[in-house]
Amino acid sequence: MRAGKRITDPIKDLAESGKLAGLLLILATVISLALSNSGRAASYLGIWHIEVGFDFLHESVLHWINDGLMAVFFFLIGLEIKQELQDGELAVKEKAILPVLAAIGGMLFPALIFFFFNTGSKEHLNGWAIPTATDIAFSLGILSLLGKRAPVSLKIFLTALAIIDDLGAIVIIATFYTSTLHLLMLLYAFLFIVVLFLLNRFKVRYFIFYLIPALALWYFILKSGVHPTIAGVVAALFIPKEMSKKLELSLHRPVNYWILPLFALANTAIPLTFDPSGLLSGLTAGITLGLLIGKPLGIILFSWIGVKTRISALPDQTNWRQLAGTGLLAGIGFTMSIFIAGLSYKEPALLDISKLSILAGSTLSALCGMGVLYFLSGKRKNS
């Protein structure tokens, strides 16, 4: 018994510290990329495009993961953000403003860098939003690997920044990449938001009464043409405080150890076939440097302005070097960037170059961010 306990203790420690979630994401990515470029690539890639569903909703496995399961992830993130806004780090106005400013800068500067390298190509310009996105799952997973060198307040900051960034990406997609917007479906969605509001107002304490309108909200947002993961965040805002903590605890493990690794497997199924000459293009530079340089530059600059003008404040127990490292981690675009790339380019050659550039920029951002946080920020004395 003792021997068995000693063997399993490291695994339990990894799981409890959040490192296992980060390792699972990295492992899923490596496996998916390897299978996508192996002799079994055709059958592996085909799995994600199998159509499943019902008469009223028929989607591929990939879409069910991205549009369905990830709405659960965003629901969990919404609960955590709401909790922090009420009782935690973000309850202080100055600290709540900081991730908003950082997210705005982190979207603006990558777009500017992309425009700088691609102003001469109308064909490339449609992908300006690709480097503006932060992959919340991967960035938080990488941050968790640093353990005590990353204070909890830094994780909260990155979580808030990333979700604001992702909501910004959803707005960008809805505004610039949605060819058809169904206003009637949006109206139906709004009616179910009202239902959720009324349930909260009348202090209903049974989750099933929230689940049904939340599912309806997800369905109608999906049918409206807007990315449906926003339904998870919206629904979380109306969950009563007493219920939120229980839901957070019950969702944490399935989201981190099942949904996110599955998401990584599906979204990094990328066959790396490309024209090597395209690697020297403005498209490659715009995406790679937008993620690696534009993201941290925008985040640090806007955060610095906010702190110096005293409209915001640094998170507790953090310094500017830690914020710089976190800004670099925000340059991990991965899945959201790949999603936007698919909307931007229909030509296979451009799409392949974009995907490879995203992988390069995201990998470099992860390595540089971890390096800064590990070697320059210093280990915390208190856990």
The yes-or-no verdict on residue 303 having pLDDT over 80 is yes
Summarised one tens digit per residue, pLDDT across range 242-261 is 888 889 889 988 988 899 89
Flag whether 197 is in a domain.
no
Flag whether 19 is in a domain.
no
Q: Number of structural domains, the chain?
A: 1
Confidence at residue 252, expressed as pLDDT on a 0 to 100 scale: 87
Flag whether 148 is in a domain.
yes
What does the mean pLDDT of the chain come to? 86
Question: Hey, what's the torsion of the CAs at 107, 166, 361, 22, to 10 degrees?
Answer: 140
The yes-or-no verdict on residue 219 having pLDDT over 90 is yes
Q: What is the mean pLDDT of residues 336-343?
A: 86
Flag whether 203 is in a domain.
no
Confidence at residue 104, expressed as pLDDT on a 0 to 100 scale: 95
Whole-number Å distance between alpha carbons of 57 and 59:
7
What are φ and ψ of residue 4, in 5° steps?
A: -60, -40
Full residue range of the structural domain in which residue 297 is found: 60-178+226-375
Structure tokens at 332: 């991990």
**0.85 exceeded by pTM:** no
Flag whether 23 is in a domain.
no
Structure tokens at 68: 């369905």
Flag whether 126 is in a domain.
yes
Q: What is the mean pLDDT of residues 157-186?
A: 82
Q: What CATH number is attached to the domain comprising 291?
A: 1.20.1530.10
Flag whether 43 is in a domain.
no
Flag whether 54 is in a domain.
no
Summarised one tens digit per residue, pLDDT across range 280-297 is 789 999 999 999 999 999
Which of 75-79, 300-304, 319-323, 376-380 has the least mean pLDDT? 376-380
